[in-house]
Each structure stands twice: as structure tokens, then as C-alpha cells.
């Protein structure tokens, strides 16, 4: 009996603080700003964990397998693992809120990184592949964290909110690859293979990112947004005799998802084989880390401006800009001499920028087209498709290079990015209402 009373009392207390936020726009604004800071802090760690593994994953597999044909498998595996994790984190966030979902995903990613370290020590390909699947949870969670900043953002803030959370990722993402040699020396000092060193950084960084969310993300912005939506629906019901149900804008969801999927395929395919291409032509780990550092910096640092531009100019124009930028990246990478560090830096920087434009404009469109009651689940499902696209790009990239060349891979990726233009043409088609929505930024 006492247990039941305590539970009722706890629910009453929860209802009270929840209503305080629902009824106060000032509290909502304060929580919105605080959420962006928490997401930003976690993204510093998450970016370091993501970038460190990307830098040496393909090289580690090449060394353990003794062939280039499967050098893209590590990227394919942790992106495939991230697909399952995206589904899991999205549904867990829908049920328990962003705090529990994101914390769980990051900690799983850290455990996967620890598994990769042991795989390198034991020279076990099976353990390597299994651990990379789990490591993918960190990749998925790092990507899904961007949604947390949009839960309490209004229509004109959504792309900016995504971009602000991604800016913080830059600090860790740039530091991760450039610590490759340092972490290699740390690994050797404790009798661990040098290529496993960056995964030591990944393990620590992902676990810290998870703890930041679990400890600090209170109250949960998604739960507040859902309560605000419920209040609005209740008010609408009282004004109208018709029962309104939240319905996703399917055209908006489809276009936003397609934009992110195409940009992910192109980016992952070219990025995955660049370290292997550089190693074949005499570049050291430090030079590989520098190029990947510029690439990942370009994936996130331009967010200082791109989010604002997307909110002001519109999703359509910036999606076209994404396709053109990725085309230029593919052309420069294909034509760059193998010994030219400058052109490789330019190509990979353009690749990162094109991905940034596509991801933020696509994400903003997904948030525009969904309601808080179903948003996390929809976002998780879409991130599954993005991860599978990345897995395909990573797996096929090694085979394309092995049977043709890095230049052919880069050129093919650039041409594929042009598909973003007919997608936007389709988005602008249809009813007059759809055209108006697109012109307003959808």
C-alpha cells in the first residue's frame, strides 16, 4: 500500500515540474539553450571517438587481412552496426527520452572500441569484426545526438540548432585523427599494437559522452516537447469537433531522408579509401591523420554558418549546393596527383563540406515534417537507412578501388551526388501546397 502511495506521489511531482515547463515559454527557452550546451559538450567527446576509429580502421583491417579488397569492411561493419544501433537508440529515446537513449548508445560504442583493442592484441579477425559492429553504436549515437538540440527549437531555429551541436563535434573530430601517432606511441608503451591506439581514445571518449548525457540531460527535452504537443492537441480538440491526429509529412520525410542517404554514400565511400590510397603512395600515419583531420573538420566546423544559411535561404538551395560541392570533391580527388597533399586536403575538405550541407538541410526537413509524439522513432528509422547507405559505400569502395582505381571511385561518387538535383525537383512538384512549403524552407 505504501509503495503505491509513493508511486502516485512521485507521479504527481513529475507532473508538476513537467507542467511548469509546458506553461512557461521562458523555461522552455532556458532549457533549449541548456540542452544545446549539453549536446555540445557530449559531441566534443563523441567526435573524438568517431574520428579516431575512422582514421585507422581500414588500415588495421588491411594489415590483419593482408589484402586491399576488404579494406572497406571495417567502415562497412561499424556503419552496419550503427544501423542496428540507430534503430535501437531511436526507439529507446521514444520510450525513455533522449537522455537514456543517447547515453546507452555512446556507452555501447565505447565497449565496442575496447573489443577492437583486444582484437588487435589477439590478432583475431573474428573479434575485430564483431567489435566493429558494436563500435558502430557510437557512430549512430553521435549522429542522433544532433536531434536532441531540435526538440524545443522553433521552425526558424532547427537547422541552426543542428549546426550548433555539430560545431562542438569539430573540436573532438579534428583532435582525434591528429592524435593518431600519439595514441600509437601510448599503445606501444603498454604492449598494444600501434594501430589500436586510436581506439583507446575512442573507448574513453564515447564512455565520457554517454556519462555527460546520463548525468546532465535533465529534464529531458523530448519529454517536454511531447507534453507541449499534447497540450496543443488538447486545445485544438476543444476548439473543434473533429479529432486531429499528428500526421507526418511523408513527402518531407522522404526527401529529407534521400538527401542524407545520398550524401552519406558519397562521403563514406571516398573517405574510407583515402587513407589506404595515401599509404600505398608512401604517406605516413601523420599525413593520413592530417588529411582526415581536415576532412572531419570540414564536416562539422562550417556548421557555424551553414545552419543559419539553411534557416534563412531554405532547404532547397542548400541541398543543391551540397550536390555541387560533392561533385567538385570527387573531381578534385580523381585528378589529384598521389603525392599532392594540398589537393588531397582540398578534395577531402570539399567532401566534408558537401556532407555537412546535405546532413543539416536533410535533418531540418525531417524535423519540419514530424511531430514530437513520433519524431524519435522516425529519426531512428531514417538513421538506420543512412547507416546502411554508409555500410554499402564502405564495403563497395574497397572492391571498386581493387578492381579499378581511387580516381574512378572518386569520380563515380561525384557523379552520384548529382542525383540530389532531381530529388529536389520532385520535392518541388506535386500540389500547390507542397510548392508553398518548399518555398518557405521545407
Q: How many helices and strands in the chain, by DSSP H and E?
A: 18, 0
pLDDT at 165: 79
Give the mean pLDDT of 272-289: 81
User: Phi/psi of residue 91, each to 5°?
Assistant: -75, -35
Could you give the percent of the chain with pLDDT greater than 70?
A: 86
**Percent helix, strand and coil across the chain, each rounded to 5?**
85, 0, 15
The mean pLDDT of the chain is: 81
Give the pLDDT band (50/70/90) at residue 102: very high
Secondary structure in 3-state letters for 270-327: HHHHHHHHHHHCCCCHHHHHHHHHHHHHHHHCCHHHHHHHHHHHCHHHHHHHHHHHHH
Compute the radius of gyration of the chain from its Cα atoms. Answer: 22
Using alpha carbons, list the distances in angstroms from residue 354 to 191, 382, 405.
Answer: 40, 19, 22
Asked whether the predicted pLDDT for residue 14 surpasses 60, the reply is no
pTM: 0.75
Q: Are 40 and 303 in contact (CB under 8 A)?
A: no
Q: What domains does the chain contain, in order, with CATH numbers?
A: 27-232+248-439 (1.20.1250.20)
Give the mean pLDDT of 214-225: 90
Give the pLDDT band (50/70/90) at residue 325: very high
pLDDT in tens, 295-308: 877 887 888 789 88
pLDDT in tens, 16-52: 667 777 777 788 888 888 999 999 899 888 888 876 6
Q: What angle do CA 257, 271, 282 make, to 5 degrees?
A: 175
pLDDT at 208: 95
Using alpha carbons, list the distances in angstroms from residue 379 to 22, 26, 153, 255.
Answer: 23, 27, 16, 13
pLDDT at 215: 94
Give the mean pLDDT of 363-380: 86
pLDDT in tens, 52-69: 666 677 777 777 777 666
Q: Highest-confidence range of 182-186, 263-267, 391-395, by mean pLDDT?
A: 263-267
Can you read off the three cell numbers belonging to residue 106?
Answer: 555512446
pLDDT in tens, 136-164: 898 889 888 888 888 888 778 888 888 88
Q: Are 261 and 389 in contact (CB under 8 A)?
A: yes
Q: Are 398 and 272 in contact (CB under 8 A)?
A: yes
Using alpha carbons, list the distances in angstroms from residue 348 to 266, 273, 275, 410.
Answer: 11, 11, 11, 10
Q: What is the DSSP letter of 97?
A: -
> Which H or E element spans position 370?
none
Give the mean pLDDT of 348-371: 91
Asked whether the predicted pLDDT for residue 352 surpasses 80, the reply is yes
Give the mean pLDDT of 234-255: 65
Q: Which one, of 385, 395, 393, 396, lies nearest residue 84 by Cα? A: 385
pLDDT at 55: 64
Give the mean pLDDT of 108-121: 92
pLDDT at 1: 46
Query: What is d(CA 411, CA 21) in angstroms, rounded to the nearest whole number?
Result: 51
Query: What is d(CA 138, CA 135) in angstroms, rounded to the nearest whole number?
Result: 6
pLDDT at 12: 44
pLDDT at 260: 92
User: Phi/psi of residue 300, each to 5°?
Assistant: -120, -40
pLDDT at 136: 86
User: Phi/psi of residue 404, each to 5°?
Assistant: -140, -100
Give every CB contact of residue 67 below 8 A, 6+ residues apart in sequence. Answer: none
pLDDT at 428: 65
Buried b (16+ CB within 10 A) or exposed e, 123-152: eeeebbbbbbbbbbbbbbbbbbbbbbbbbb
pLDDT at 294: 87
Asked whether the predicted pLDDT for residue 438 surpasses 80, the reply is no
Give every CB contact of residue 265 below 8 A, 6+ residues apart in sequence. Answer: 389, 390, 392, 393, 413, 416
Asked whether the predicted pLDDT for residue 176 surpasses 70, the reply is yes
Amino acid at each position: 500500500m505504501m509503495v503505491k502511495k509513493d508511486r502516485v506521489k512521485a507521479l504527481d511531482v513529475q507532473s508538476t515540474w513537467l507542467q511548469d515547463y509546458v506553461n512557461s515559454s521562458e523555461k522552455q527557452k532556458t532549457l533549449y539553450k541548456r540542452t544545446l550546451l549539453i549536446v555540445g559538450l557530449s559531441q566534443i567527446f563523441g567526435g573524438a571517438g568517431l574520428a579516431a576509429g575512422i582514421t585507422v580502421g581500414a588500415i588495421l583491417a588491411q594489415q590483419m587481412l593482408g589484402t586491399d579488397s576488404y579494406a572497406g569492411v571495417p567502415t562497412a561493419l561499424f556503419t552496419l552496426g550503427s544501423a542496428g544501433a540507430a534503430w535501437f537508440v531511436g526507439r529507446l529515446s521514444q520510450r525513455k527520452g533522449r537522455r537514456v537513449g543517447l547515453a546507452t548508445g555512446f556507452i555501447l560504442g565505447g565497449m565496442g572500441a575496447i573489443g577492437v583493442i583486444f582484437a588487435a592484441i589477439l590478432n583475431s579477425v573474428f573479434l575485430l569484426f564483431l567489435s566493429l559492429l558494436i563500435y558502430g553504436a557510437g557512430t549512430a549515437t553521435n549522429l542522433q545526438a544532433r536531434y536532441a538540440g531540435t526538440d524545443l527549437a522553433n521552425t526558424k531555429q532547427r537547422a541552426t540548432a543542428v549546426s550548433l551541436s555539430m560545431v562542438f563535434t569539430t573540436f573532438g573530430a579534428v583532435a582525434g585523427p591528429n592524435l593518431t601517432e600519439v595514441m600509437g606511441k601510448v599503445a606501444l608503451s603498454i604492449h598494444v599494437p600501434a594501430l589500436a591506439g586510436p581506439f583507446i581514445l575512442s573507448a574513453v571518449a564515447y564512455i565520457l559522452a554517454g556519462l555527460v548525457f546520463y548525468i546532465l540531460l535533465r529534464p529531458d527535452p523530448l519529454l517536454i516537447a511531447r507534453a507541449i504537443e499534447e497540450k496543443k492537441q488538447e486545445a485544438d480538440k476543444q476548439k473543434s469537433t473533429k479529432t486531429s491526429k499528428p500526421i507526418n509529412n511523408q513527402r518531407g520525410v522522404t526527401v529529407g531522408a534521400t538527401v542524407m542517404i545520398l550524401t552519406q554514400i558519397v562521403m563514406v565511400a571516398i573517405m574510407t579509401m583515402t587513407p589506404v590510397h595515401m599509404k600505398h603512395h608512401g604517406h605516413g600515419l601523420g599525413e593520413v591523420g592530417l588529411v582526415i583531420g581536415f576532412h572531419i573538420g570540414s564536416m562539422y566546423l562550417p556548421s557555424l554558418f551553414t545552419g543559419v544559411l539553411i534557416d534563412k535561404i531554405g532547404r532547397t538551395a542548400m541541398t543543391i549546393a551540397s550536390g555541387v560541392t560533392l561533385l567538385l570533391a570527387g573531381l578534385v580527388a580523381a585528378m589529384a596527383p598521389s603525392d599532392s597533399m594540398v589537393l588531397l586536403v582540398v578534395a577531402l575538405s570539399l567532401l566534408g563540406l558537401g556532407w555537412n550541407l546535405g546532413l543539416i538541410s536533410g535533418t531540418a526537413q525531417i524535423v519540419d515534417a514530424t511531430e514530437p509524439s513520433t519524431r524519435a522513432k522516425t529519426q531512428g528509422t531514417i538513421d538506420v537507412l543512412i547507416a546502411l547507405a554508409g555500410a554499402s559505400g564502405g564495403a563497395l569502395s574497397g572492391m571498386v578501388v581493387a578492381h579499378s582505381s581511387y580516381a574512378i571511385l572518386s569520380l563515380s561518387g561525384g557523379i552520384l551526388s548529382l542525383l540530389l538535383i532531381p530529388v529536389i525537383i520532385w520535392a518541388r512538384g506535386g500540389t500547390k501546397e507542397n510548392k508553398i512549403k518548399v518555398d518557405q524552407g521545407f
